[in-house]
């Protein structure tokens, strides 16, 4: 199950170059060609799924386990002091390759990569309304 114009499907098929780190029956891990930090890796399912909402649960679990393994190597062997896992869905969320993937970002002091959180307390009425929507849909 692959898409003909998907670069990640081509990596799985071996028809596009990559620096593969690990592979198993469900997943492939490889270095990002535009690394945000030293050791920035991607973990993908071998079967094409556009995003989080299309990826089968067994592939999602396999990707999470591989990301855990890759992150552990970053911490233990690349001397990262932390790891961010980043997963984006949709262009507005900065998804640029529409094949489900997880970024494993080793973090180092002064690495230059920033995630800015501009947090403010939520409006109680809005939060109550949103919580009710989630509860209603998640309980069914």
Res 117: pLDDT: 84
Per-residue pLDDT of the chain (140 residues; tens, 9 = 90+): 778 899 999 999 999 999 999 999 999 999 999 999 999 999 999 999 999 999 999 999 999 999 999 999 999 999 999 999 999 999 999 999 999 999 999 999 999 999 888 899 999 999 999 999 999 999 98
Residues facing residue 43 across a β-bridge = 29, 102
Read off the DSSP letter of residue 110.
Answer: T
pTM score over 0.85 = yes
Q: Which two tokens stand for residue 46?
A: 């071998």
Phi/psi at 104 (nearest 5 deg)?
Answer: -110, 110
Of residues 7, 15, 67, the one with CA closest to residue 39: 67
User: Could you give the CA distance from residue 30 to residue 23 in angstroms, rounded to a whole number?
Assistant: 9
The CATH architecture to which 7-114 belongs is 2-Layer Sandwich (3.30)
Phi/psi at 118 (nearest 5 deg)?
Answer: -110, 80
The structural domains of the chain, with segments of one domain joined by +, span 7-114
Res 96: pLDDT: 96
Q: Is 101 an annotated catalytic residue?
A: yes
Res 2: pLDDT: 79
Task: Please tell me which residue in 48, 99, 101, 103 is annotated as part of the active site.
Answer: 101
């Amino acid at each position: 199950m692959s898409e003909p114009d998907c670069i990640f499907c081509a990596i799985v098929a071996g028809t596009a170059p990559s620096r593969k780190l690990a592979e198993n029956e469900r997943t492939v891990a490889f270095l990002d060609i535009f690394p945000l930090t030293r050791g920035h890796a991607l973990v993908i399912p071998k079967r094409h799924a556009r995003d989080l909402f299309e990826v089968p649960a067994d592939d999602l679990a396999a990707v999470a386990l591989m990301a855990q393994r890759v992150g552990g190597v970053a911490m233990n062997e690349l001397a990262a002091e932390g790891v961010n896992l980043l997963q984006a869905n949709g262009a507005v969320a900065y998804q640029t390759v529409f094949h489900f993937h997880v970024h494993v970002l080793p973090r180092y002091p002064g690495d230059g990569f920033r995630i800015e959180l501009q947090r403010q307390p939520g409006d109680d009425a809005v939060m109550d309304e949103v919580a009710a929507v989630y509860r209603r849909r998640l309980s069914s």
